[in-house]
Structure 1
Amino acid sequence: MKFSKAGSAAAVIAALALTATACGGGDDIKSPSASPAGNGGKKIAVGIKFDQPGLALKKPDGTYAGFDVDVARYVAKELGYGPDQIEFKKAPSAQREQLIKNGDVKFIVASYSINDKRKQQVDFAGPYFLAHQDLLVRAGDNSITKPEDLNSKKLCSVTGSTSAQNVKDKLAPKADLQEFGTYSECLTGLENKVVDALTTDDSILAGYAAQPEHQGKFRLTGLSMSDERYGIGLKKGDTELQSKINTALKKMVQDGSWDRAVQANFGPAGYKNAPAPQVTEGS
């Protein structure tokens, strides 16, 4: 008797299952938790800086914030990856090309200026931002008002960056170039009078100067010594990925996400950014 009831129950369940399949309900109704992650649940490794306030900063709680971070997340989303599928990897200036060549990252969003020398080793998508090279000096130092004033002074930037070399080659050939591993080290050297000026893009400098612990200690000179077109670095020859990233960047501008990210990350510093540049790489 008990066996018969169990058999009847099983038959009812089977019939219901067949009915649901016939109606297509099994395909259309899924609980969110059962939905598969994008790209089969695979993760994507993205290179960013970890120490650039306003652009890309790894915070003490292990989260990431900044304009480059927002761009990276938007692009990854358009490639089919959710926030929990992004694995951020530290991409110091001197290691960016090698990280891409080795396949350690899929792409890099790290204040990565597009230039011909780098394009011999990697390809770029974008550009997605236009910055200008400037100088950061101590607030009370009025001896540096133009690039030529750097002659015989100690100028700091990070290893692998083109900024300091640009000043030494074209503007102040007698500058004493000091290369440190990170911009944070340069900033500490500037505060302690080990160096006289820090040079890189104005967006990066503004991010540092705006930090609560640094407010009032430094000033930007307001010199626009070069145009720096930030691009997204990727493996050379990967035209398919380049095209997809370019499409994502254009969409980010068109739907207003680019402007919102700029305001959220640079607005507090009072930084006046240039409009979104036209995407030209790969076209």
Structure 2
Amino acid sequence: MKNVKKVLGGLSLVLLLGLIVGCGSGKDASSSDSGKSADPIQKIKDAGVIKVGVKEDVPNFGYMNPDTNKNEGMEPDLARLIAKELTGSEDNVEFVGVTAKTRGPLLDNGELDMVIATFTINDERKKTYNFTTPYYTDEIGFLVRTADKFTNIKSLDGKTIGVVQSATTKDALEKQAKDLGISFNYQELGSYPELKTALTSKRIDAFSVDKSILTGYVDDKTEILKDGFSPQEYGIATKKSNEKLNEKLDELINKWKKDGTLDEIYKKWHLD
């Protein structure tokens, strides 16, 4: 009986020591893993790919070419340059199509490393996301039907303006209208192609967004008014916690501004 107690006591001691060692090992492993994930740049290098949110309906900026099934435009090109810097190859990019409504949530839930999708920098958004220095500056304008003979912003007084959902355009229009002593009605739709269709079918009187975006939707029956307002600065957005990644991206944008790389991309996509 005594021998049995000794054996059981010995086993209990072994099990206790095993639990202590096991817990200690688990803590070390957890610390190691958290240390690894704390560096977003290293995480990208380990994965060997960057996940980037881009527009797929904005010719020249971000467009899914149905003939080649490839993402084209200045923003996908910018993403490829970043991939080369961070992973060694321009091909190491996973593009995810986003809209003004989905780009924030997809960044929030970790499905994207960054968003390069005509994301306008403003003070309210900077409370939620990191933004790099602007890689492009534009202004808001209006696409109208040529036959309607609109000449400037004031000629659109009382008209219905089409804007994309969740964009900053409507707020800017409201401010501009107040400054000019006029008013607009609005129709909010989910995408730029939908807005162009609404303009063509005369459900709206003007399609309003940044002028460079509008250039992709001009045809022989439409024109962009000369009037523009509210400068729009586009930046690369990352999660607020990814400060190190933002610093690296900011460094790259500033370098490409100075060495002419961005100018070459502008010219390639007729954005100069």
Instruction: State the TM bucket, normalised to the shorter chain.
Output: 0.7 to 0.9
Name 2:267's counterpart in structure 1: 263
Task: Work out whether 1:53 is the aligned partner of 2:59.
Answer: yes
Alpha-carbon RMSD: 1.7
Q: Is the Cα–Cα contact under 8 Å of residues 161 and 184 in structure 2 kept in the other structure?
A: yes
- Partner deviation per Cα, 1:112-157 (whole Å, 9 max, x = no partner): 1000111121111121111011111112221x32323323211001
* Aligned mates of 1:161, 1:41 — CA distance in 2: 32
Any runs of at least 4 consecutive aligned residues in structure 1 with deviations exceeding 6 A, and if so which?
A: none
Distance in structure 1 (CA, Å) of the matches to 2:124 and 2:245: 21
For residue 100 of structure 1, report the CA deviation from its aligned partner: 1.2
Greater CA drift, 45-54 or 84-93: 84-93
Counterparts of 2:94 and 2:257 in 1: how far apart (Å)? 24
- 2:224 maps to amino acid: L
Q: How does 1:75-86 map to 2 (within 5 A)?
A: 75-86=82-93
Instruction: Select which of 178, 192, 195 maps to 2:201.
Output: 192
CA–CA separation in structure 2 for the residues paired with 1:44 and 1:99: 14
Q: Please show how residues 111-130 of structure 1 align to structure 2 within 5 Å.
A: 111-130=118-137
Q: CA deviation at 1:81?
A: 4.8
1:185 CA displacement: 0.4
Q: Deviations over 1:70-90 (max 9, x none)?
A: 122222222225233200001
Q: Normalised by the size of structure 1, how large is the TM-score?
A: 0.75
The code of the aligned residue for 2:260 comes to G
Post-superposition offset of 1:40:
4.3
Residue correspondences, number: 225
The within-5 A match list for 1:199-278 is: 199-209=208-218, 214=219, 216-266=220-270, 273=272
Judged with a 3 Å threshold, the aligned counterparts in structure 2 of structure 1 residues 74 and 84 are, in CA distance, closer, same or farther, namely closer
- Are 2:79 and 2:93, in contact at CA under 8 Å, matched by a contact in 1? no
Code of the residue aligned with 2:100 in structure 1: it is S
TM-score (norm 2): 0.78
Q: How far apart are residue 44 of structure 1 and its match?
A: 1.5
Deviation at 1:192, TM superposition (A): 1.3
* Aligned residue in 2 for 1:153: 159
Aligned residue in 1 for 2:117: 110
Would you say the 8 A contact 1:108–1:233 is kept in 2? yes
**SS at the partner of 2:120?**
coil
Q: Which residue identity lines up with residue 238 of structure 2 in the other structure?
A: L
Q: Structure 1, unaligned stretches of length 5 or more?
A: 1-37, 274-283
Map of 1:65 onto structure 2: 72
Equivalence for 2:38: none
Shift, 1:43, TM fit:
2.0
